[in-house]
Structure 1
């Protein structure tokens, strides 16, 4: 597959110089005018970018269609999730061939007195109705007539009679909250606009709780809505005015308490709200003044209610302590905190979940996520049992808690790896028995033994060992001839965990070596791994990625002329920074919703989420050292005269997290400065948000587009 002999000319945006002045530094930005999304000239320019991209990549259409069809042919389109029990119902979702969105359903559960039987999910068949099945919400019907659709939260009252759901019809992650009477199927008149993710009911079902964002898209209010009343009269239960703090809530396991959390990446605060009392107001448990990053789960123990606190108090990788409710009324120094899970340098404690009898602890060890279980009996005493960890046979896998119902004798786990499609297990709390409920089917004769996933280590410029995951077809050898795609993220302590991807098989089957660079700034090796890739250490993320790229070439896994890179959002910043530092290493780069004008965005506290970002990157408004450091790596500020490779910036017009203007400006600057002839394109979804277009088929098309761009650049269009 080859490009057209002569490429069309790319759109050239006019230059309107705008000065950005901070700390005595002046940066002239010629393309800031593209930020005005209401300007018809901006819209016309974006449409011209799409037309140019379509023309430049038209020869990839056949390859895109092939990849899309491969994804479709391998996917069990008519399928369903494993039913999960809540109170007297089993809840599950169905998907149907030809339909974009899941259908949310339920069937009544039974109570025979045999706990094992009562918590064994019913056998529901794909494509066949189950006796007594009720449709709660059909995403396909909800999406009809809208260019975009996604769900931001669902909740059912304790009596099972009322559904609340939050829907986004534009992609801007501002949701409409609606209420449905499940007995009649009718929508209640209560409609609340502009809510954020998440919704919960009071135990009696008369009140709903939700979050509201401010003008910068920062969740700052928790509100209570009394069903049947005017939403304009809803009560503000909690408001956070610090622009650098994020607000959210969780429902306690016994559903009687709302835990309101306020925080950033470095410290947090927790309030509790008694949901059994309509007149109650939030009560402070642990203040931000303690500067402790933490999360809480209430537990009921002999002697009363207490809290399991996962925290970093003198524990960089976190530990879990048991704190009685009355202790929080004392000064912090006088409080008694009893160790439940001790701190370890080689294990990061991610959090806890609680049932009426057990605690499930999520941990990260040897880069991978797994779970540990211990009984509540004896918790925090010398009689406390040792935690038990389910054991699996692979080195690189992800085991996570999917659901822990308070009154269940089981907890539900999900398991996946680079080679194993997602599995659903029920773990018996009494004896640790694992029961496989489902493995996601892969059609077309997929055999995991045809592929290999292995861990390698690259060496950073400062001598640090960087974990590298390498996934390939078994017959692909380290002979220096292979095409390779290196993927990375490296921010917010988010780990790139092992997981199966049907779409990725289309790369592997074309001989591509898929590489994950677990760079600093992620969370794979604990909190210090994150701290070593943020703020004034952010450049470690970029140099780590380059070191991984050089490593796979040096060890023979990749042909030096056939390496591509891919990353999204903060991983898009990674792509932009790496391009400026080492453009010669890559044949192509795909930057998805890329955060490439980072300094401009974070310098404006009125832009969405900018103030919240100060804990990740530093505050360049107040700190000249942070300003200087960020300016030295922010991709848009550092485009140089160099032979840039093929670049695709993929973005969305309604993205709230990374505004479309960032890649729009960036591609103009890249084209202006490149000394090479490789095309630089921008593909913009005009009806989508940060996650791209909605609907599974549209998502498959997006993935096929990205992969076709990479495969074409690597000369790997044909299956091997």
Structure 2
């Protein structure tokens, strides 16, 4: 029988329902307590039922409203769908899947965020370690031994703190499986020797507040990326595997200020640090035997994203990787450590180099004087840029970078004369851990301020103007865009949001939601801290809607999204449309406020290729209509 079939049969056998003896009895007092608790749950159930019925009515109302507005965009949407099919077919070999698998983990990408779905690691041929995702979180690690059909899965690790999320990875040399228990601000790593899978996991360093670390293994040494140093940004430290505690950690390499660590690779006896500074990618290479000197290799200026070869040749002297950008398909490169030379590989990817667009890196002075990076793409031959359409991307949360991978649909926009801008605001991770700290908790408003100064700087530098400017964001990026729409709606003409987080306060006040407690390290805890209640209330997009002239807004929501609930988006849309209608009485024609509710799917959107193209075409049709772009009679 196939090993995978056996695996799932055994997983099923490993979980037995708990049974209770009929001899169990309850005291009268306990029975009364249970009765009172049941009545409380019944009342809560009634409230939930009323809310559900109310939401169903709102959903039906929104579906009717969307149907009444869709004819305005329908023909243009079909035209864009055909154009997208053509351009995506052209780059099919370069286009990354919406779902990709690496090291036994399935990843989903969503506008700058990477999410994991299923995790498993083989120790030996007959021993498997895995986690189970329940309510958007993994808290337990199980071991399954194959070969004996009577063997049940055994729990080897359990995380009791709801703020922490458990994941499994394997060290790059393949010797250890690591159990990584991470919150937003702290981490703890346990090691499982793959040759001795029955031994209990061993902790590297017990968790401490604000201590983040990640572990690799090489020749009985643990190489630890950590913020343990005084700067609170990443350093590479090492210790012998027999003495793993932080009191034994010694610095090997310190990352410079304003540099973001993208990844670290161990190749032969060399360490390769992949870095980014204000958008420019580089490699720092040094010997693990003698960390000095460090070789610095600057990568091509057009490169914005790097992906290491899936199977590194650890005993070789070369490092293979691919470089890309949002408008540049992946190109293969090779760095020879012996020769200290960077080569473009002679394969089909070398034909992908695009020379008809330009990448420009700007720095916008923030309201406090801090420079905020912006990356801009446009056609080399583009003239009169102050009247060209501008699409601005932003995220700014969780220390995550904006996604810079190649997306073929962006080529369509460039061909039509668009300018694409990526604003790397504080709260994201583009300039290291300190960049994230500068935009989280009681500094969340700084991300909104940064977005505002980025837009003003782009317009001042001659990139488009407010009536030709659109914003695009998803998930937590919705907080910044929604906040900007409340504070400075005159800077933009249209907005496209995908599963956006817009109701921060009510979400963080509801501990029954699956991620509320985990998210407190990013947004704060308004339940227990009145200071955070007032602070979140002051910037929360939903809480600050007011009658004024908003930009046109298209929100795409998914019914099965458990991260950003449909109920919150229904509330937001209703309140915003009422505010726009109130302003319309005194100010003139109202803008379009549309909620596009898609059946099924989750926070990551459609996994079907056709549905994905349809969604992008719908977004483009909305943007072209609302910005009143002239396509010269080429569209239907």
Task: Give TM-score scaled by structure 1 length.
Answer: 0.73
State the match for 2:609 in structure 1: 696
Q: CA deviation at 1:449?
A: 3.1
CA offset digits 1:450-504 (Å, max 9, x no partner): 3222112222222222212222223333553222222111111112254433211
Moved more, 33-42 or 249-258: 33-42
CA contact (8 A) 1:199 1:209 kept: yes
Q: Conserved in 2, the CA contact under 8 Å of 1:315 and 1:343?
A: no
Partner of 1:715: 628
Residues 225 and 231 in structure 1, CA contact (< 8 A), matched pair in contact too: no
2:622 counterpart of 1:706: no
- Decide whether the 8 Å contact of 1:270 with 1:286 is kept in 2: yes
Q: How many angstroms apart in 2 are the aligned matches of 1:206 and 1:251?
A: 17
Aligned residues of 2:486 and 2:545 also touching (Cα < 8 A): yes
> Does structure 1 conserve the Cα–Cα contact (< 8 Å) formed by 2:88 and 2:409?
no
Counterpart pick for 2:253 among 334, 341, 366: 341
Matched, 1:65 2:78: yes
Q: In 1, distance between residues paired with 2:534 and 2:346?
A: 54
Q: Cα deviations across residues 284-329 of structure 1 (Å, max 9, x unaligned)? A: 11111374211110111xxxx1111111112322110111112226
Aligned equivalent of 2:331: 423
Please give the per-residue CA displacement for 1:218-271, whole angstroms capped at 9, x wherever unaligned: 221111122366799311111111111121121122323111111223221111
Give the Cα–Cα distance (whole angstroms) in 2 for the partners of residues 196 and 63 of structure 1: 35
The answer as to 2:544 corresponding to 1:632 is: no
SS of 1:494's equivalent? coil
Name the SS for the 1:547 alignment partner: helix
**Counterpart pick for 1:239 among 152, 158, 179:** 158
Within 5 Å, give how 1:442-457 maps onto structure 2. Answer: 448-457=354-363
Following superposition, the deviation at residue 430 of structure 1 comes to 3.9
Matches within 5 A, 1:507-586: 507-586=413-492
Q: 1:46 to 1:228 in 2, by over 3 A?
A: farther
* Worse-matched range after superposition: 341-350 or 524-533: 341-350
Task: Evaluate the alpha carbon distance shift between residue 399 and residue 323 of structure 1 in structure 2; reply closer, same or farther with a 3 A threshold.
Answer: same
The answer as to 2:198 corresponding to 1:198 is no
CA shift for structure 1 position 420? 2.5
Distance 2:172 2:353 in 1: 40
Per-residue CA shift, 1:603-629, capped at 9, x if unaligned?
222212111111111122221111110
Distance, in Å, in 1 between the alignment partners of 2:204 and 2:507 is 34
Does 2:221 align with 1:221? no
Does the CA contact (< 8 Å) of 1:651 and 1:683 recur in 2?
yes
Task: Pick the aligned partner of 1:50 from 63, 83, 99.
Answer: 63
The equivalent position to 1:405 in structure 2, one of 293, 312, 316, is 312
Q: Using the alignment, how far apart are the partners of 1:230 and 1:577 within structure 2?
A: 56
Q: Which residue matches 2:273?
A: 361
C-alpha separation in 2, matches of 1:78 and 1:678: 36
Tell me whether 1:312 sits opposite 2:227 in the alignment.
Answer: yes
Matches within 5 A, 1:386-401: 386-394=293-301, 397-401=304-308
How much does 1:428 deviate? Answer: 3.9
In the other structure, the counterpart of 1:384 is 291
Name whichever of 402-411 and 485-494 sits farther off: 402-411
Q: For 2:47 and 2:412, locate their aligned partners in 1 and report how far apart those are by CA, in whole Å.
A: 36
Partner of 1:285: 204
Give structure 1 regions of 4+ aligned residues with deviation exceeding 6 angstroms: 32-38, 151-154, 165-168, 229-232
Paired residue secondary structure (1:466): strand
Pair 1:212-2:225 in alignment: no
The answer as to whether partners of 2:282 and 2:298 remain within 8 angstroms in 1 is no
Shift of the alpha carbon at 1:447?
8.0
Choose the corresponding residue for 1:500, options 403, 406, 412.
Answer: 406
Please tell me whether the aligned partners of residues 35 and 661 of structure 1 are also in contact (alpha carbons under 8 angstroms): no
Whether the aligned pair in 1 keeps the contact of 2:372 and 2:424 (CA below 8 Å) is yes
State how far apart, in whole Å, the 2-side matches of 1:485 and 1:344 are.
Answer: 32
Q: For residues 182-215 of structure 1, what are the alpha-carbon distances to aligned partners after superposition, in whole Å with 9 as ceiling and x for unaligned?
A: xxxxxxxxxxxxx942211112x11222112344
Indicate the SS of the match to 2:501: coil
CA 1:57–1:474: 2 relative to 1, 3 Å: farther
Q: Secondary structure at the match of 2:450?
A: helix
User: SS at the partner of 1:556?
Assistant: coil
- Deviation at residue 551 of structure 1 after TM alignment: 2.1
> CA separation of 1:656/1:480 partners in 2, compared to 1, >3 Å: closer, same or farther?
same
TM-score of the superposed pair, with normalisation by structure 2: 0.82
- Residues 681, 708 of structure 1: CA spacing in aligned structure 2 closer, same or farther, 3 A cutoff? same
Distance in 2 separating the partners of 1:231 and 1:692: 40
Conserved? CA contact 2:360–2:376, under 8 Å: yes
1:323 aligns with one of 239, 242, 255: 239
- Which has a greater percent of helix? 2
What corresponds to 2:287 in structure 1? 375
- C-alpha distance after superposition, 1:401-451 (max 9, x if no partner): 243536452433120134431123344444345352656599xxx983332
Structure 2 residue 212 is matched with structure 1 residue 296: no
Displacement of 1:397: 2.6
1:40 Cα offset (Å): 6.2
The answer on whether the counterparts of 2:191 and 2:204 sit within 8 Å (CA) in structure 1 is yes
- Aligned in 2, Cα 1:509/1:523: closer, same or farther, shift over 3 Å? same
Query: How has the CA–CA distance of structure 1 residues 521 and 595 changed in structure 2, closer, same or farther, with 3 Å as cutoff?
Result: same
Cα RMSD of the aligned pairs, angstroms, is 3.2
Report the equivalent of 2:396.
490
Q: 1:291 to 1:670 in 2, by over 3 A?
A: closer
Q: Which runs of 5+ in 1 are unaligned?
A: 1-31, 82-94, 96-100, 103-148, 156-164, 169-174, 176-194
Native 8 Å contact 2:377 2:421 kept in 1 = yes
Residue equivalent to 1:266: 185
CA contact (8 A) 2:302 2:325 kept: no
Deviation at 1:390, TM superposition (A): 4.1
What is the CA–CA distance in structure 2 between the aligned matches of 1:318 and 1:387, rounded to whole Å? 17
Change (3 A) 1:438 1:614: farther
2:181–2:188 Cα contact (<8 Å) kept: yes
User: CA offset at residue 664 of structure 1?
Assistant: 1.7
Q: Which residue of 2 aligns with 1:673?
A: 579
